[in-house]
Structure 1
C-alpha cells in the first residue's frame, strides 16, 4: 500500500495514526435517530457528501450503507478522474482499500485457524519460512498470531526499503524477503503499535500453510464466499486491467495532482481493491455473524473474534479485535478499520448492536487543515452521529470528571513518545514529532501538548484516568507496570500507545542539543575571518605543527553537518521528497553524515595533542575543543535517529 504525503509525513508524524481508526463522536444526548432506510440515508448523504467534496476540494467519493440485513444505500459522487471526468460508480469503481485490507487478511487467517491448520497462541516462527522467522529477542515470550493480529507483537516500525516505484510488483512471501526485517523492540503484548509488517507476516503464514499465493487464499476464503466479485488482492497494474480504478489525487499548491507516492511492496497489509457495493457484502457478513443472503458463508467464531475486543492498551480505553479497531467502547459500541494512501482515504464502521454499517472511500487528500478530521472521517462520524447515536455513552470506565478524583497529577507529568517507532532506520525521526508532554494544570487537572496534536486539558475521574475538559469527551488513561507509570493512551486512537521516557530520552532535549551543536560549529566561520584580519595587519597566521589536519577535520565535519541540517530543513518543507527517501531507504539520508564520522573522530582525537602541545592560544584551544565535541554531539544524536549509516545496521 502507498502512504500519503500528508499522512506520511506520517512517516514522521501523528498522521500515521490514521491508517487505523477515527476517534469517537462527541458524547451527548439528542433526539431519537431517524430510521436507517434508503430515503432518510439518501437525503442525508446526497446533501452532505457533495458539500464536503466542495469544501475539501476532493474529486470523488463513494459511500455504501447497510442495515436490517441488507444494503440500503450505495452511491458514487464526483469523478474518478479529473481529466476524463469519468463519474464515480458505486458498483464499478474499485477503490484501493488501503489498510481496510487488513480486515480481509485477518479474516483469511481466522478461517485457517477455524479449519484447524493454525493456532492463535503458538509461536509464529513455527508457521513462517526460515528466512522470515523473528529473532528470539525475548526468550520464552514468542510472538504469536494473536500478537500480529492485534498489533501487539512489539515490532519496530521501520520503513526503509519497504517501497517499490509502482504497483507492478506482485506480493509474495519471497518478495517480503527483500524487506528489511524489523527488530523486536518490546516484549509481545506490552503495548499496541500499529504494524504493517506484522500483517504482511500473516500473509506469509497463510502462504506457507496453504502452499499458494496469498491473493488466491483470500479469494477462496473471503471474496468468493461473500460474493465480492469485484474485489481482489492484486497489484496496481493488474487492478487497472481488471477493474475501473480511480485516479488518486494529492493536494499541491496548484490544486489536485495525480499522486506519485511510493508503493509499499506487499499486499496483506493494504493491497486490495473493492467497490463500495462489495464492501456492503463484507459488512453484512460481519453484522450477520457469518450469514449472508440467508446462508452461512463464514464461521461464526471467526466473525466473533473480529468484532470482539481482543487487546487494548488499557481496559478503560478502546482496543482492537482481530483486524478491527473500536471506534467507541460505550453504547452503542462501534468497530471498523480505516486506510490511507497518497490521495486515497477509506473507512468502514459497524455498529453491531444496531446492525448498521457504513463504508466511505475518497480519491483525494483534499485541502482541509485538520489531517485527522479529513473528508472521509467526517462522513463516517456525521453518519454515525445522525443515525446511531455513536458515542452517546462513551465513558467506559469511571464516571464524570471530578477535580477531587485521581491521585495527584505530578505522578503522570513527563514526556511520552509513540510506541510506533523505529530503532534501526531514519523513520526513527517519527518520535521527534509524535510525542506528548504531560504537565500539571491546576486543580488536579493535566494538560497535554504535542507537535502534531492539539493542546488539551484533562480532568481526573479516577486514579490514572482523565476525561477531556470541554472537548469531545475523549479519555486519557495512564498505563502502569509494577506500580510505575509506563505509558499513556488515548481512546480515540487505539492503534498505538505513548511510552514514558526519562529526561535524557526526551526528543525536545535532543533537538535543543543538536541546535546548540550547530551554533557552536557555525562559530568556525570566525577562524578564516581571524586569519584575514591578521593578514591585513601584516601578520602571518600562526599554524603550529600538526594543527592543520586537525583544523581541516573539524572544518570538514562542521561543513557536512551544517549542509545536512540545511538539506533536512528543505525535506521538512517538501515532505513528499522526504517520504520517497524514507520509504526507498535512500542513502541520501544516511551516507552524508556517515562520511563525516572519520573526520569527526580525528577532530575529537586532536583535542589531546592540541592541549598537550599548546596549539594556538588558550581561548583558541577551548574553541577548537568545543567545535570538535559539538560535531560529535550532532552525529551522536543523528545516529540515534537513524541518520548515520553503519554496516552493522544495514
Structure 2
C-alpha cells in the first residue's frame, strides 16, 4: 500500500468520526516544520524564472540536508535515505540517521537495504511490460489465458486483462485480515500461486469501470510473469531488472538473502520516548506487491532507466516504445485530473506531470517520483516515525523550490454552478474495501461526508476542514490550496462518485444507506438506550419481578440477559475488533477475535428467544400495554444488532 494511501485513510478516520491511505494532512498542509519548509536561500543559484538551479549540486545537497534534519527531529525518524537523479545521472544520494541503532550503524545510500513495500510493484509492472514487448503477453487478453495453476471466476461478461491489473481497474474487492503479511520468517518461502488460490478475492465490479488499488491484482501479475516466463518471480526480477541495471543491493526475496543480510535496515517504532526495534513484516505469497528491499543508489539506477526510456548505460530493459507506453496515461476517472499509467499513478506537482508510486508497511515508508519531461527522479525512504508526513513535505518543498507553482486564481463565481451543489452532498466511501469477508467491518469508519456551506463544498471541520469551490461542471478547486476533486453524476444529475486528484488509484462512491455509519450509530444508540432501561428496571424492580408469575418472571430475566449480552457484544465489537493492531489484524487470526465471534451468534439465539416471548407477552397479555410495547422494542433492538453484525460480516467466521 502506498504511503499516500495510508495518509488519506488516516485523514478520513479523523474526519468521519475520520480515515487513511494512507494519515496526516495530505489534503492540504504538508506537515513541514517551518525551518524545513522555508530553508535559507542565501548564496543559492537562481535561474531567470526565479526558481533555484537544480544543477547546483552543492546547494541541492544543503537544501535536502536542511529538510531532512528538520524532519528527523520533528517526525521522530530513526533513519532515512534520499536519491535524486537528473539527465541520466545521480545528483544526490545520502543517508541520514541509523540503519541499526543498537550497533550504531549509519545509513549508507549505496548499501543500506530499505524495505520499499508497495513500490515493489514497479518491478512487477516493468516485468510485465518486458514480456509484452517480447510478444509473450498481451495487455488486452483475458488473464486466464496465461494462468496455469488457478482460474479467475467469470463473474462478469468482461474478462480481466493485464491492462486492468496495471491500472488497478480489475474490480477485485480488498482483503487481507489474518493472512496478508507474516512476521515469522519460518513460514517462508510461500508459493504465490497457492496463496492467491487460497485467498482468492471476489470480483465486485466490472473490469475497467473504476480504479481500486489492489495488492491481489499486483500479485496476480507477478504470478503471470512467473508462469509465462517459466522463471520463479524472485529470479526473474533479479535476472531481468536488477542485474542489467547493476542493482547489487536489491532483492525481492524474503527473508533477505544471507549475502545481503549485513546491509538490511532495521525498522523502529516509538515507545515511551525511545526507538524500539520491531520485527519485520513479510509479504509471502503476495511478494510481487511489496517484498523488495533496495538501496537508494540502486533505486537511482532504476529511476534513470525509466527516465531514459528503458536504458541504463549500455543496457536496455525496455524498448523506448514500450517504456513510453508504460508511462502514458492509461485510465482516467476524469479527463481533467491525473489518472493511471501502466503501473505508475499520475500526480500534478506545481503544474508538472509526475508519475509516481509509494509504499508503506508498519515500519517503512517510501516514495518515488519521476518527472519525465524534466528527466528528474526522486526516491526517499524511512525506517520509522511519521515518514508519510515527511515524504509529502520533502516532495512539496522540492517542487516549490525548483519548479515554482503557477499562481492559482479561482474563476469568478458562477451562479449556475453554485446553485446546484446540494447534489454532491452526502457520505462517500472508498472503492477499495471488502464486501464478502470480515474485512468489510474495517471500512465501517472509513467514510467521508461532503457538506454544502456558503456555495462551497466542505470536508471535515475546524482545523481539518478543507473547502472546495466549483470551477467547472463536476469539478472543484481547493480554496487556498492546490488540490482538485471531481465527481461523476447519474442520469438524474445526482453525484455517484468522487475523486481526489492525488489519489487517482482510489476513487470514492456514494455510501448506500445500509453502509452509512451514521445510520447504524442512530439505530445502535436507540438500542443502547433501550437496553440500559431494561437493566435499570431489572435492578430497581427486583421485588416486583419476584412476585410475577413464573412465565412473566423468565421473560423479564431473558430481556435483562439479552440487554446485558448485547451491550457486551457491542463493547467487544469496538474494543476488540475495530481497535485491533494492524499488524495483528493482517498477520493472524487472534484468539480474542475467534472468541469474540461467538458473541454475535449467542446474541442471535437470545434474540430468537426474546422475540418468541414478545409474541407470548401480547398473546397472554403480560403486564400493562406500555410495558409490552417496551418489551417488544427491546426485542426489536436486539434484531437491529443482529442485522448490524450480519451486514458487516461479524456473524460467523468470515475469513478470506
Counterpart mapping for 1:197-596 below 5 A: 197-236=216-255, 238=257, 242-260=261-279, 263-265=282-284, 266-328=286-348, 331-366=351-386, 374-389=389-404, 392=406, 400=411, 402-404=413-415, 406=417, 408-442=420-454, 444-449=455-460, 454-470=464-480, 472-482=481-491, 484=493, 485-534=495-544, 540-545=546-551, 548=554, 550-551=555-556, 554-571=559-576, 576=581, 579-581=583-585, 583-586=587-590, 587-588=594-595, 590-596=597-603
Comparing 487-496 with 161-170, greater Cα deviation is found at 161-170
Q: Note the alpha carbon deviations across 1:282-322, whole angstroms, 9 max, x for none.
A: 00001101111144332223322332111122212221112
Aligned-pair CA distance for 1:354: 0.7
Alignment partner of 2:631 out of 624, 637, 641: 624
Q: 1:503 to 1:303 in 2, by over 3 A?
A: same
Instruction: Name 2:35's counterpart in structure 1.
Output: none
| Residues in 2 aligned to 1:448 and 1:379: alpha-carbon distance in whole angstroms | 25
- Residue 271 of structure 1 and its aligned partner are, at CA, apart by 0.5
- Equivalent pair of 1:12/1:427 in contact (CA under 8 Å): no
2:464 and 2:628 map into 1 onto residues whose CA distance is 46
In 2, Cα distance between the equivalents of 1:430 and 1:491? 25
**Could you say if the C-alpha distance between residues 573 and 134 of structure 1 is closer, same or farther in structure 2, counting changes exceeding 3 Å?**
closer
Q: Does structure 1 retain, via aligned residues, the 8 Å contact 2:81–2:107?
A: yes
Aligned-partner Cα distance in 1 for 2:359–2:319: 25
CA separation of 1:175 and 1:380: change in aligned 2, threshold 3 A: farther
The correspondence for 1:157, drawn from 174, 178, 201, is 174
- The answer to whether the Cα contact below 8 Å between 2:305 and 2:317 also exists between their aligned partners in 1 is yes
* Structure 1 CA distance for aligned equivalents of residues 28 and 371 of structure 2: 12
- CA distance in 2: counterparts of 1:3 and 1:635, whole angstroms: 36
SS at match of 1:479: strand
- 1:100 and 2:119 matched: yes
**1:18 matches 2:14:** no
Q: Is the Cα–Cα contact under 8 Å of residues 173 and 202 in structure 2 kept in the other structure?
A: yes
Instruction: For structure 2, list consecutive stretches of 5 or more residues without a partner in the other structure.
Output: 31-47
- Pick closer, same or farther for the CA change 1:420–1:82 going to 2, 3 Å: same
CA RMSD of the aligned region, Å?
A: 3.2
| Alpha-carbon separation, structure 2, partners of 1:174 and 1:461 | 48
2:141 — aligned with what? 122
Q: 2:352 aligns to what SS in structure 1?
A: coil
Distance 1:66 1:596 in 2: 60
Structure 2 Cα separation of the partners of residues 591 and 450 of structure 1: 38
State the shift of 1:167 in Å. Answer: 4.2
Where does structure 1 lack aligned partners over 5 or more consecutive residues? none
The alignment partner of 1:257 has SS state of: strand
Superposed CA deviations along residues 314-361 of structure 1, whole A, max 9, x for unmatched, are 212221112211121773211111111112110011111111111001
DSSP-derived class of the 2:563 partner: helix
User: Secondary structure of the residue that 1:156 maps to in structure 2?
Assistant: coil
Shift of 1:143: 1.4
Alignment check: 8 A CA contact 1:151 1:194 kept: yes
Q: Tell me the number of residue pairs that the alignment of Structure 1 and Structure 2 aligns.
A: 626
Alpha-carbon distance between aligned partners in 2 of 1:532 and 1:240, rounded to the nearest angstrom: 73
Moved over 6 A (4+): 1-12, 21-26
Q: Structure 2: how far apart are the matches of 1:286 and 1:2?
A: 19
Q: Check if 1:135 corresponds to 2:153.
A: yes
Instruction: Find the aligned partners of 1:438 and 1:24 in 2 and give their Cα distance.
Output: 16
User: Aligned partners of 1:24, 1:289: CA distance in 2, in Å?
Assistant: 33
Deviation digits for residues 504-545 of structure 1 (CA, Å, limit 9, x no counterpart): 54221122222222222232213431442438xxxx431443
Query: Any conservation in 2 of the 1:360–1:380 contact (CA below 8 Å)?
Result: no
Give TM-score, length-normalised by structure 1. 0.88
CA offset at residue 170 of structure 1?
2.3
Q: Is the 8 A contact 1:330 1:393 kept in 2?
A: no
Establish whether residue 602 from structure 1 lines up as the match of residue 609 from structure 2.
yes
